[in-house]
Structure 1
């Protein structure tokens, strides 16, 4: 209860949590509130918001319901952000643990691989990967994960280097445990908290990267995305600016909510570790 009180003590943390809660409800409720294809024609083209209460946010150039697309876009953004963050954290934690625990040539080789990935801007790497393999939701997740795993890898390696010489690790060696078992069963769990602290940054970056790829036409064509909605509204920006403004606000709110809630989690975890 004390940890929960600390988490909700700051108003910005409460705001971030509420934003994420609203987005989660939108993502989960989208098939119930808007059954069928969200990209199907629902009314006359370019209907302004609040003109027809059956289409409260109006329609786009093809007559599709903007509100339905907004809800399904939340589903896509959260799915990509969470999946890409999980993949990047898992890959980075494994590589960082292997590098830090093995040391020597293995450490040098894995860190040089990390340097090679880190020298390429993350968005350019994701852009090149999706362009070569082809746009789909899974490809976008893999592309974002490949561009985001280096940070967790470096943090995991630094933590493992400080943990591997502790007494309980030495005791595990004396007990005859396999080095990989020691690394992933004894060392990695204790090195994870600082790595997980990067999750909010990775999720926010993944949401922005997915939106940018969709804006450029490299998102999954079978799914509604906020980046695709912004790109769709670009052609009629002067006559119907709401087509770009509405998904743009949703995108900014998501990134802000993830960042604020993530900061609250990091601060709460840091306080608990300091007290323990």
Structure 2
């Protein structure tokens, strides 16, 4: 609760949390706000925004409702971003914790693997993986996570190296605790806050990567995404620019909200550590 109060006390945290809360509510109640399949043909093609009450944001080249696509696209963006970030953080925490706590040859082997993944840009790795395996939401999530886990792993290892020789860890060893128990119960809670602060960057990058893959036609064709909506609008950008503008604005607001929430969370956690 103290962390939440500190988060809301920061302008960045309050604005970011408000933006993401609105987006989460839209995604959660998407079937209620826009029932039915958002990919269905709902009306006349290329209806301009605010000209038909049935389609407030107009329709695309096939007559699909743009507002319905934005609402249901929020579910895809949030689901992919959060799932990819959770997978990347889980992988990074496990690898970084094992490398930093064990040391020796295991540390060297795991860090060389981290170096190998960091050499390849995350987007190119995701692009290659999806191109080989095939586009679907689980594959996109795994592809993004494979390109994003190395940074949390390196940060976790650095944090573990800074705390593994402290008195409470030495006391746990003297008490006869198993090394795995020491790592999970004594070390992990103390290295988690900086890694969680990094999660905002991973979520924002995951949302942008998913949009870029969908823009290139490598997203799941059975779900509507903001990236695919932007790609659909580029063919009629001169005559119907709203088809790309509206999903682009939604994408920008989402990434800005995640970034602001991450900044607020970092300040709140820093204030908690300073107070401690």
Is the pair's TM-score, using the shorter chain for normalization, greater than 0.5? yes
Q: 1:196 to 1:12 in 2, by over 3 A?
A: closer
Instruction: Give the superposed CA RMSD.
Output: 1.2
Please report how far the alpha carbon of residue 116 of structure 1 lies from its aligned counterpart in structure 2 after TM superposition.
Answer: 0.3
CA contact (8 A) 2:12 2:263 kept: no
Match of 2:44 in 1: 44
Matched ranges for 1:73-88 at <5 A: 73-88=73-88
Is 1:190 aligned to 2:190, yes or no? yes
Query: CA, structure 1 residues 111+141, in 2 after alignment: closer, same or farther (shift >3 Å)?
Result: same
- Equivalents in 2 of 1:99, 1:19: separation in Å? 37
Runs (4+) of structure 1 exceeding 4 A deviation are: 1-5
Aligned residues: 276
* Deviation by residue 1:202-255 (Cα, 9 ceiling, x = unmatched): 000000000000000001111110000000001111110000000000001100
Contact 2:11 2:264 in 1 (8 A): no
* Residue aligning to 1:154: 154
Task: Between 109-118 and 176-185, report the one with greater CA deviation.
Answer: 176-185
2:119 matched residue in structure 1: 119
Unmatched tracts of structure 1, length 5 or more = none
Range 19-28 or range 225-234, more displaced: 19-28
Note if 1:29 corresponds to 2:12: no
- Structure 2: gaps (5+ residues): none
Q: Paired residue for 1:135? A: 135
Shift of 1:11: 3.2
- Aligned position for 1:258: 258
Secondary structure of 1:274 counterpart? helix
In structure 2, what is the Cα distance between the partners aligned to 1:121 and 1:8?
Answer: 35
Question: How far has the Cα of 1:14 moved from its partner?
Answer: 2.5
TM-score normalised to the size of structure 2? 0.97
Q: Distance in 1 between matches of 2:38 and 2:126?
A: 27
Q: In structure 1, what is the equivalent of residue 238 of structure 2?
A: 238
CA–CA separation in structure 1 for the residues paired with 2:273 and 2:10 = 19
Please report how far the alpha carbon of residue 3 of structure 1 lies from its aligned counterpart in structure 2 after TM superposition: 4.4
Q: Distance in 2 between matches of 1:179 and 1:3?
A: 30
